[in-house]
């Protein structure tokens, strides 16, 4: 028996790769938003920067939820 016979997505390898790619990209976006929020919300003396940081920062909890959901989806296809 080879490894391909025991995966739980046999015949759907491309879909598995695409789902993993979405999961990874979503995680990266979530981390970028967190960095943006930290840099511009609190550390800037410029009101526009602070406003932008706070507005962008409102996405962070939503992205955290999406990241968690996508991690669960990704987990379903682990070997």
Q: What is the pLDDT of residues 1-59, one digit of tens each?
A: 444 554 666 777 888 888 889 999 999 999 999 999 988 887 788 999 989 998 998 99
Q: Is 70:28 a contact under the CB 8 Å cutoff? A: no
Enter the pTM of the model: 0.76
Q: What is the pLDDT of residue 14?
A: 87
Long-range contacts, 17-20 (Cβ 8 Å, 24+): 19/70, 19/73, 19/74, 19/77, 20/74, 20/77
In angstroms and rounded to an integer, the radius of gyration of the C-alpha atoms of the chain is: 18
For residue 9, the SS3 value is: coil
Q: Where are the domains of the chain?
A: 12-76
């Amino acid at each position: 028996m080879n490894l391909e016979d025991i995966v739980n997505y046999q015949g759907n390898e491309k879909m598995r790769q695409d789902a993993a790619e979405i999961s990874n990209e979503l995680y990266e976006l979530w981390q970028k938003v967190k960095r943006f929020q930290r840099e511009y919300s609190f550390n800037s003396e410029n009101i526009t920067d602070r406003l932008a940081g706070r507005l962008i920062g409102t996405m962070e909890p939503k992205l955290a939820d999406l990241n968690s959901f996508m991690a669960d989806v990704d987990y379903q296809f682990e070997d």
